[in-house]
A and B are shown apart, each in its own frame.
Chain A
Amino acid sequence: MATEEYQRLQEALKRAPTAEARKEAAEAMRRYNAARLAKGHGSKPTLVSLGYKKTYPTAIPVDKIPEELERNPAFFEHMRDIVEADG
């Protein structure tokens, strides 16, 4: 069962990647990260992929995801695809 913070992130990523939606998703990701840190995940988690010629980074520290969500519509859609898998 997903936590409230993650459900908010999933909801925020369902919208089209407008500037407002990206900002909202970034905020939801920040709240999720804060909850994650509170659970004691103290290492340096990094979201990686083996994509080629992508318009988003193939390695991004989890705590930097909100900035990338806000900035990059392609990354917003990439994240949407991932979180939808746990629908």
Chain B
Amino acid sequence: MLNLPLYDLPTRSASGFIIRYVLPRTLPPQLIGPSDRRQPFQVLTIGDVIIGVGHGDAAEFCGHNDQVILDIHSIPDVKGKVVVLISCQTARELGPALIDAGASSYIGFKEDLVWVMDSDLASSPWSDALGATVMIPITNCVNTVMDGKTTGKAFSVLIEGLSRNAEVEEDELIRSCILFNKQNAVLLGDDRATIRARLPLALPFKMVPPPPLLPIF
């Protein structure tokens, strides 16, 4: 399941990269924009992975317009699932609670997930080179999971990607954000957990960019 809210700059930037580089090769359920709400999230428990973008804190994870769709007191059926939450602080309480509820593995962050984005590119966030410094390593991590590799491998893809980008980044604030996220990335549960791999991408197939997103209302 993909959860991709789009209602403000941070959700739009993070969801934008997933829409561009992950979404075209996934199967439903995909809760995008206003459909990312509590009820469908709690009911649609099919599949072996949950990839969520959204605002969050230690115990809660939000969907569209900050509606709490997942918290430590109402965890849906996550038995055997791999959960990746692209959000803030969920590794403190929600991540461990997901593992306790039977999730096989969790990847998230124990502090705020911060990055610098170009707000001039809010309608095509996937083309934002500033945001890419943090979001491409996260996207690569998600794609590694989707390709059926272990979560341990996916986590190392995330950490190595952030390290590489920090090394070559000249802007100090952007570099600090990259390093901050790297310090706070967390993998919980079984690092050998995998999901069923999606179909391989047949060459010379190439994913084209999606149309621009609608403006933020």
Q: What is the bound-complex CA distance between A47 and B76, given in angstroms?
A: 33
Residues facing B in A34-87 (CB within 8 A) are 36, 41, 43-53, 58-59, 61-62, 78, 81-83, 85-86
Contacts A48-B116, A50-B11 given; indicate if A86 touches B175 (C-beta within 8 A): yes
Task: Report chain A residues within 8 Å CB of B117.
Answer: 45-46, 48
Pairwise interchain contact A62-B173, C-beta atoms closer than 8 A: yes
Task: Report chain A residues within 8 Å CB of B175.
Answer: 86
Q: Find B115's partner among A48, A78, A81, A86 (CB 8 Å cutoff).
A: A48
Contacts A41-B171, A82-B180 given; indicate if A51 touches B89 (C-beta within 8 A): yes
Pairwise interchain contact B172-A86, C-beta atoms closer than 8 A: yes
With A43-B118, A58-B8, A81-B180 known, 18 other A-B pairs at CB within 8 A are A2-B172, A44-B118, A44-B119, A45-B130, A46-B9, A46-B116, A46-B119, A50-B54, A50-B112, A51-B88, A52-B57, A81-B111, A83-B172, A85-B176, A85-B179, A85-B182, A85-B183, A86-B179
Task: Report chain A residues within 8 Å CB of B121.
Answer: 43
Pairwise interchain contact A51-B112, C-beta atoms closer than 8 A: yes
Pairwise interchain contact B55-A52, C-beta atoms closer than 8 A: yes
Q: What is the bound-complex CA distance between A59 and B113, given in angstroms?
A: 12
Q: What is the bound-complex CA distance between A53 and B56, given in angstroms?
A: 8
Contacts A81-B111, A82-B180 given; indicate if A48 touches B57 (C-beta within 8 A): no
How many chain B residues have a CB neighbour from A under 8 Å? 40
Q: Find B171's partner among A36, A48, A53, A81 (CB 8 Å cutoff).
A: A36
Q: Find B112's partner among A44, A45, A49 (CB 8 Å cutoff).
A: A49
Residues facing A in B102-134 (CB within 8 A) are 111-121, 130
Pairwise interchain contact A48-B9, C-beta atoms closer than 8 A: yes
Q: What is the bound-complex CA distance between A83 and B177, given in angstroms?
A: 8
Q: What is the bound-complex CA distance between A62 and B177, given in angstroms?
A: 13
**Taking the nearest CB of chain B, how far is it from the CB of A85, in angstroms?**
4
Interchain Cβ contacts under 8 Å between A and B, 30 examples = A43-B121, A45-B118, A46-B116, A47-B115, A47-B173, A48-B10, A48-B115, A49-B112, A49-B114, A50-B11, A50-B14, A50-B86, A50-B87, A50-B88, A50-B113, A51-B55, A51-B56, A51-B89, A52-B56, A52-B62, A53-B57, A58-B9, A59-B8, A78-B112, A81-B111, A81-B180, A82-B114, A82-B177, A83-B172, A86-B172
Q: Which residue of B lies closest to A36 (CB)?
A: B171
Contacts A58-B8, A81-B111 given; indicate if A50 touches B179 (C-beta within 8 A): no
